[in-house]
């Protein structure tokens, strides 16, 4: 039987993203725990960028601090804390921090 999980962002260490410059992650769920998701806290430093990319699954990401430009539907759209983005499988998307503050988001993928 699965149990409710509680994670504190403050108890995890930031890891440099292997592909995206100025991007750091704190993996929460890696997809093999049986909950059906892969989830990570993500930090994009000023000038950092999650380069345009696609996935084989839907990604839902929620911005909880800062402002950024998100590539969605072929356009760059300004987003800020409180905005939720749903990128369907195969849809190109990305995030660019053009501000002078860190941007924080929570990313969820189907596992």
The reported pLDDT for the residue numbered 51 is: 97
Is pTM beyond 0.85? Reply is yes
Low-confidence ranges of the chain (pLDDT < 50): none
* Residues in contact with 91: Cβ distance below 8 Å, sequence separation at least 6, in sequence order: 54, 72, 73
User: Nearest 5°: phi and psi at 96?
Assistant: -130, 130
Domains and CATH numbers, the chain: 15-110 (2.60.120.10)
The reported pLDDT for the residue numbered 65 is: 97
pLDDT in tens, 93-111: 999 999 999 999 999 999 8
């Amino acid at each position: 039987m699965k149990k409710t999980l509680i994670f504190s962002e403050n108890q995890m260490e930031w890891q440099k993203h292997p592909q995206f410059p100025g991007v750091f992650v704190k993996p929460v769920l890696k997809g093999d725990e049986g909950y059906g998701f892969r989830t990570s806290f993500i930090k994009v430093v000023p000038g950092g960028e999650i380069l345009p990319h696609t996935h084989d699954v839907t990604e839902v990401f929620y911005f909880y601090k800062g402002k950024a430009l998100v590539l969605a539907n072929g356009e760059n759209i300004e987003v800020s804390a409180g905005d939720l983005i749903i990128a369907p499988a195969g849809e190109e998307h990305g995030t660019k921090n053009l501000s002078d503050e860190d941007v924080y988001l929570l990313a969820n993928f189907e596992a």
